[in-house]
Amino acid sequence: MKLAVIPGDGIGSEVIDSALRVLRRTSRVIDSGISWDVFDWGAERWLTDGVGLPDGAPHLLRANYDAVLLGALGDPRIPDMAHGREILLGLRQGLDLCVNYRPVVLPGGTVHLYRENTQGLYAGVGGAIRRGGIAEVAIDECVYTRETVERFLRYSLSDLQRRGSRRVTLVHKSNAVPNTGSLWQDVFRRELREFPDLAGNEQYVDAFCYHLVRNPTQFDGVVTSNLFGDVVSDIGAALMGGLGLAASASISPDTGFALFEPVHGSAPDIAGLGIANPYAVLMCVVLLLRHCGFDIPADALEQSLSDAVRTEVTTPDLGGIGTTDQFTGEVLRQLDLKL
């Protein structure tokens, strides 16, 4: 297995160091081994030679690697995040990563959240005139194509079926946003017919947020559009115990090519202190191993993470006294007992 690794900015490279230590260990139990190349795309490169995502990068990645592991992007010296948008949106669109999967792992079960990742309000359609004056007009259009909604839902529903899920909720707002809303409802209802084991229901996003906070594990699978998914998955991260725990996978339904990244950003407030929580990135490694068919090391790592998180060497965001390095060491110790 060959990975493209993009550490990125701030704590991105700190948590990626931790991921690479764990990958080196898991590589020993995989016949073909795991190797990787590291790409320096991020703030430093942008500031020195103006390059965000080099031309042809998506093609280079898809042609030579099995998956991408990304740390985080974001740097106070680039306040508009221009480099981050170019790299993240460029990879999502260039690699057709329209399915974003974020597991919300809770004591009572896991909520499987799927967010459409390329269109909707993030399609980049819109504009503004008369900037700054009282006559200013600003428009961002919500754009969905039936093709993308279909490919997204078909992949997400079959992924849920593979996980043994029994229920799936479409989160929408078709009362207030009727055009894209009814497109989503129509495709959802049609696609569900192909998955007789999945019971579908539909919920308005506001009501969904209310119920998610009050009783999260009443939900099993959740499918939603780009903006709703962005917001709802941060609630999911908070329910889990913080951004330091939340992992995500972005997948192309056609090729299966995937990019794994923690949900958190580059955390400039703690960058360089050595206390970033590597749990989220290590959970990404779990998702990555499973995606590539290596279930045994994936299960062992997932169990090691849940054992390590019960010790006192968790990082300060979880109330512990550990550093990134110490927590990673504990995960490796647990992993040695299991592999």
In terms of CB distance, is 102 or 172 closer to ligand NAI? Answer: 102
Contact status: 230 vs Mg ion (CB under 5 A): yes
In terms of CB distance, is 180 or 304 closer to ligand NAI? Answer: 304
Q: How far is the CB of 336 from Mg ion (least distance, A)?
A: 35
Q: How far is the CB of 85 from ligand NAI (least distance, A)?
A: 9
Burial class from Cβ neighbours inside 10 Å (0-12, 13-18, 19+) for residue 172 reads buried
Question: What are 262's two structure tokens?
Answer: 């923690």
Contact status: 284 vs ligand NAI (CB under 6 A): no
Q: Contact 264/243 with Cβ under 8 angstroms?
A: yes
Query: In the block, which residue shows the tokens 């906070």?
Result: 213
Contact status: 229 vs ligand NAI (CB under 6 A): no
Contact status: 85 vs Mg ion (CB under 5 A): no
Q: How far is the CB of 300 from ligand NAI (least distance, A)?
A: 22
Binding flags for Mg ion, 45-84, as an x/- string (CB under 5 A): ----------------------------------------
Contact status: 235 vs Mg ion (CB under 5 A): no
From the list ligand NAI, Mg ion, none, partner contacted by residue 314 (C-beta under 5 to 8 A by kind): none
Sign of the CA dihedral running 260, 262, 265, 271: negative
* DSSP β-bridge partners for residue 280: none
* Contact window for ligand NAI (CB under 6 A) among 69-77, 121-129, 169-177, 198-206: 69-77
Q: Which of 325, 276, 239, 294 is nearest to 31 (CA)?
A: 294
Give Cα separations from 227 to 97, 117, 173, 238 (angstroms).
16, 9, 11, 17
Q: Contact 303/338 with Cβ under 8 angstroms?
A: yes
Dihedral pair phi/psi, residue 112, rounded to 5° = -95, 105
Contact status: 246 vs ligand NAI (CB under 6 A): no
Chain contacts with Mg ion (rule: CB under 5 A)? 230
